[in-house]
Homo-oligomer: A and B are copies of this chain.
Amino acid sequence: MLREIDLSRKITKDEYKKVMTDLELKLGTLQRRALGLGIPVVIVFEGWDAAGKGTQINKLLLSLDPRGFTVHPINAPNEEERLRPFLWRFWTKTPARGTIAIFDRSWYGRVLVGRVDKIVPKKIWSKAYDEIVSFERQLADDGNAILKFFLHISPKEQKKRFRKLAANRSTAWKVTKEDWKHHKQYDKYLAATEDALARTDTAFAPWTIVEAHDWRFATVKVFTAVADALERACAAAERAQRSSRKRKAPARRDDSASSILDGIDLAGAITKDEYVSSLKKYQRRMMELEHEVYLKRLPVIIVYEGSDAGGKGGNIKRLVQGMDPRGYQVIPIAAPNDIEKAHSYLWRFWMHIPKAGHIAIFDRSWYGRTLVERVEGFCSEEEWRRAYREINEMEAQLVGFGTVLVKFWLHIDQDTQLERFKARQRNPHKRWKITDEDWRNREKWDAYKLAIDEMLYRTSTPLAPWTVVEANCKWYARIKALKTVVQAIEKKL
């Protein structure tokens, strides 16, 4: 594909001036319109060394309102980044609603230089295509406008540019040995690039090849593409706003839903003696495992979900009691704050993904989307339905990176919950734990049951299965959770 492209395309200085005045004004207007509509914009610049990425990015951002964008130059990952799944550093840089993120090189590094230079083994880079496509699709579904540019020059042109840079004292440092090595491997890179472009060119995140021999031609092409994409994104967002005002049909009730919860035997119980001795045993083991996890640089994520008053807090406490606080972190998830709301909903969880060698314990999690957000109508039906797949994709990436992922659903029955609510209300030191909201949620027991059932059903994958913990007996539940974590880590080690 790339070889056939006519790189001789040019534009005259006069024509350039004429076109650009309009384009710059148009872009400014569109940026403000996109900001008003809260559209996040992702612009990726890839291309050959010396193809002029820096120049094009600078031209673009000089015509934008500086309050609205951030440029992210992407180099080889640093240690913080290498110790997390590959897309982590890109997720954390995705733009808030109404802002523009410009990537100077990007997640494509893994399938281009990482592949050709054999920095990343084939087993890993070949998997990256799926991860990239799902990443971009999730952003697009969340309303992001995504543009990807590949700045193309011929090997002859590249050589000419390298020589010119090398001849000038103040730019000579820009051309490194590495660059010349890459230049000699132009064909290899070309093959990898064609492969990457073909496998990641989607309707929601298309590639634009930019003929970059003539910088004026390139600039006009980039500006036109950005203006077109913003135009389309704005029109789509306005349509969506109009139609969402009309829609609002109630989510249909699905009475034929499978019932996992009904099948759970909550009778499991143990005596105090059994509890005390098992607790000691497993806590001691957890202490040892925490060290091994660190030494082997194993990432561990433990997710706690469960009924209100299901005993999450007490359970987590027993899990971490003997552990070293340097090795674990409990991440309590409440309603999202302003900044979190301005991003795709998985963003805030990506921000908390632990470094390899550390244990992250989520007290509630990304499953909020399929539970409280669904039942309370905080997100649209389309959004929570999409979430099952998005979550499964994220968890697959975590597990693919080597993470031990354990997910608990702490289940109690309605009577036990009522008892515990009442006990909390009686105890002056625990009264703050129970709010009107808890009582209101209790009234929605059936709606929650439906949501929980569907969640367990759709997100229990072979890679990331749920563990349902029968939690009417707190002692039983604590030991079961501890044992499950211990076994999951031991299995991986």
Contacts from A to B (Cβ < 8 Å): 25, 28-29, 32, 54, 57-58, 61-62, 66-67, 70-71, 73, 78-80, 102, 104, 170-171, 173-174, 287-288, 291, 295, 313, 316-317, 320-321, 323-326, 329-330, 332, 334, 337-339, 363, 429, 432
Contact = CB atoms under 8 A, between A and B. Distances in A.
Contacts of A313: 66
Contact of A58 (B295, B320, B334): B320
A32 B430 CA distance: 12
Contacts of A287: 170
Chain A: interface secondary structure?
Answer: helix
3 closest residue pairs by CB, A with B: A73-B326, A67-B332, A338-B338
A419 to B, nearest CB: 22
A355 B388 CA distance: 39
A61 B291 contact: no
In this complex, the member of A54, A287, A326, A339 whose beta carbon has the largest number of chain B beta carbons within 10 angstroms is A326
A58 B291 contact: no
B62 A321 contact: yes
Given A54-B325, A79-B79, A170-B291, 12 more contacts: A32-B432, A58-B321, A58-B324, A62-B317, A66-B313, A67-B363, A71-B329, A78-B80, A104-B326, A173-B291, A174-B291, A338-B339
Contacts of A330: 66
| Copies per assembly | 2
A170 B324 CA distance: 14
A325 B104 contact: yes
A54 B291 CA distance: 13
Contacts of A170: 287-288, 291
Contacts of A70: 329
A294 to B, nearest CB: 9
Nearest to A317: B62
In this complex, the member of A29, A67, A173 whose beta carbon has the largest number of chain B beta carbons within 10 angstroms is A67
A359 B226 CA distance: 27
A337 B338 contact: yes
B317 A54 contact: no
A337 B341 CA distance: 12
A27 to B, nearest CB: 11
Nearest to A60: B325
Nearest to A284: B170
A66 B364 CA distance: 12
A221 to B, nearest CB: 18
